[in-house]
Structure 1
Amino acid sequence: MSKTAPKTYITSGHSACPGCCDIFAAKFALMGAGPNCIIVNPTGCLEVTSTPYPKSAWQVPWIHSLFENGGAVASGVEAGLKALGKKDDIKVIAIAGDGATMDIGIRSISGAFERGHDFTYICMDNEAYMNTGVQRSSGTPFDASTTTSPPGKFSFGNPLPKKNMPAIMAAHGSPYVATTTIGFPRDMIRKVKKATEIMGPTYIHAHAPCTTGWGFDTSKTLEVARLAVETCLWPLYEMENGQITQARKIKNPRPVEEYLRAQKRFQHLFTMEGGEEEIKKIQAMADWNIEYYGLQ
């Protein structure tokens, strides 16, 4: 970033792993949102590592909600600020993992978006329940190995595709939905800034590779994140009022094999009989993204 880069509002004092995706995500989100915000953070890796009692790495007001009620707490904060006449001056932002967003917390998020509360929800998608032992979530990609979807005699890992959470939030009538990644900081900062400046419930889905749960060297977090985009397995796009308005073009997509080889959670695809066919299925998913989102 340049010398004029926005200030970050999460600092040292956390206990996250080296190369932790969640700290990157929080840092870039706050660089986009600025200091006049209140953060609602459900249970998860970010909550646990950023607030080891009695310390806090947050330089803005921060609230820990339960695993399942981030959307409800964020909507309550927004309603309270409105009652006090302060909503125009303060942004409300919920930041949570894929489990708290796509699984256990989806009910309260759905309610908050249906009611039209003016806040931004950011999902840091590290594609499993990392804080409790790398269990599968509905954000876990096809064929990935987790502790509850291990490969073996009858399985190549997770048998189901990722839940399309951005499409679900767009279907709620959100005026702005976007995907981003910690691998492209400027993209994430810009989209968070845009989301927080739009009236109504807005949603950001951020790809966040986990060095521990995915199995790669701690120095490779951003490299793996960029590979997901360059192989078209993680398309970067924006939706406004339900329509895709912008997508990042990938001139020469890299084969998905490069992304899969970089992570321990997919290594079984290169050693098990039939793994080659599974890789072809994943390549087909990337090819579908290219066609559907207009990535070329």
Structure 2
Amino acid sequence: MNIMTNNNSAKNTKNHFTGDTNWQITNAELMESGHMACPGCGASLSMRHVLKVLGSETIVVMPACCWAIIAGGQPTTALSVPLLHTPFAVAAAAASGVRQALTAQKKEHIQVLTWAGDGGTFDIGLQGISGAAERHEDMIYICYDNEAYMNTGIQQSSATPHGAWTTTTPGGKDFKYAKKDILAIIKAHNPGYLASATIAYPEDFYAKIEKAKSASGFRFIHLLAACPSGWKIDSQNALEVTRLAVESGVFPLVEMNEQGEIKKTYEPKNPISVKEYLASQGRFKKITAAETEIWQNEIS
């Protein structure tokens, strides 16, 4: 990947990262140092690069989540773009209001980014998301999914996968519960753009953020973001463990095409086993061989 810097928003020459891609990434930092993120936080790294694509004419709307702490209290926020904090359940509704206000001021060019964790997306904020998607509100909604309520002490959410340790599932999650298929739920609303991504695959990541920026209506990206504390991994291994999620098929990189079909944007050349992915994290240490086989069969 050839990375070039200039003062403009990031642009790519291809939609997907098969083949050579020449990236132009703004050297302006819209996320400053001195924030409150833990070492290795996938959500903080992702935000930094999302803003490099969206640029300075962006308003971020954020419910209660890890990032509400990471950004810091006003007026000392780590973000150099406007940030609106909201109650847990209403981020999408608040973002709808921001968009309507911008439209009234004839400032439609400004991007409205709703940035929320899995708890505020899969669970508490789902009704507001459904409403915004049904109305085709012109916003980008990114769910950074670290697969539990990490901000409040690592409690289970409906994004928590089979067998994962959390403080509310100390023995590992019961296997009769599956992670909620958030992409299928959003797809039912006929969004303007829909994809999954992770910063561990930057070419794919940048292509999808750029494509969401260029689209209109309600746009949704499901972003896997490793949490070293909650996943029980070393902070320096956060990106590698995220790659294992993709290479094992646990978290496929996909995109909805113009025909409304969900298609993979990346196919691992040498797929690894689900067992290898699970073994990379302490949160899955109580998973049995039989349970691991269930995972593998679901993916295969």
Superposition TM-score, scaled by structure 2 size = 0.89
Q: Any conservation in 2 of the 1:72–1:108 contact (CA below 8 Å)?
A: yes
- Alpha-carbon RMSD across the aligned residues, in angstroms, is 1.4
Mapped partners of 2:95, 2:74: distance in 1? 23
Q: Any conservation in 2 of the 1:140–1:158 contact (CA below 8 Å)?
A: no
Which residue number corresponds to residue 157 of structure 1? 173
**1:22 and 2:39 correspond:** no
**1:33 and 2:33 correspond:** no
Aligned residue identity for 2:119: G
**1:285 and 2:295 correspond:** no
Q: Secondary structure at the match of 2:190?
A: coil
Q: Map of 1:205-284 to 2, 5 A cutoff?
A: 205-240=222-257, 242-269=260-287, 275-284=288-297
In structure 2, relative to structure 1, the CA distance for the partners of 1:246 and 1:268 (3 Å cut) is: closer
Q: Map of 1:90-109 to 2, 5 A cutoff?
A: 90-109=110-129
Mapped partners of 2:82, 2:73: distance in 1? 16
The Cα of 1:261 is off from its aligned counterpart by 1.0
The Cα of 1:53 is off from its aligned counterpart by 5.0
Q: Any conservation in 1 of the 2:252–2:264 contact (CA below 8 Å)?
A: no
**1:49 and 2:66 correspond:** no
Cα deviation code 1:10-38 (max 9, x no counterpart): 12121111111110121121122122111
Cα deviation code 1:189-227 (max 9, x no counterpart): 221121121111010000011000010001111111111
The Cα of 1:6 is off from its aligned counterpart by 3.0
Mapped partners of 1:172, 1:182: distance in 2? 26
* 2:189 paired residue among 166, 172, 175: 172
Q: Secondary structure at the match of 2:3?
A: coil
Cα deviation code 1:98-123 (max 9, x no counterpart): 00011000001111111111111000
Which residue number corresponds to residue 3 of structure 2? 2
The Cα of 1:285 is off from its aligned counterpart by 2.3
Unmatched runs of 5 consecutive residues or more in structure 2: 6-24
Q: Any conservation in 2 of the 1:119–1:196 contact (CA below 8 Å)?
A: no
**1:70 and 2:87 correspond:** no
Which residue number corresponds to residue 211 of structure 2? 194
Q: Any conservation in 1 of the 2:161–2:173 contact (CA below 8 Å)?
A: no
* 2:130 paired residue among 110, 120, 134: 110
Unmatched runs of 5 consecutive residues or more in structure 1: 270-274, 288-296
Which residue number corresponds to residue 290 of structure 1? none
The Cα of 1:73 is off from its aligned counterpart by 0.7
Which residue number corresponds to residue 292 of structure 1? none
Mapped partners of 1:12, 1:49: distance in 2? 11
Superposition TM-score, scaled by structure 1 size = 0.90
* 2:200 paired residue among 170, 180, 183: 183
Mapped partners of 1:186, 1:47: distance in 2? 27
Mapped partners of 2:239, 2:261: distance in 1? 29
Identity within the alignment, %: 42
Aligned residue identity for 1:2: I
* 1:143 paired residue among 139, 163, 169: 163
Which residue number corresponds to residue 134 of structure 1? 154
Mapped partners of 2:264, 2:219: distance in 1? 16
Q: Secondary structure at the match of 1:101?
A: helix
* 1:203 paired residue among 206, 211, 220: 220
The Cα of 1:175 is off from its aligned counterpart by 2.3
Q: Secondary structure at the match of 1:2?
A: strand
Mapped partners of 1:79, 1:25: distance in 2? 27
Aligned residue identity for 2:225: A
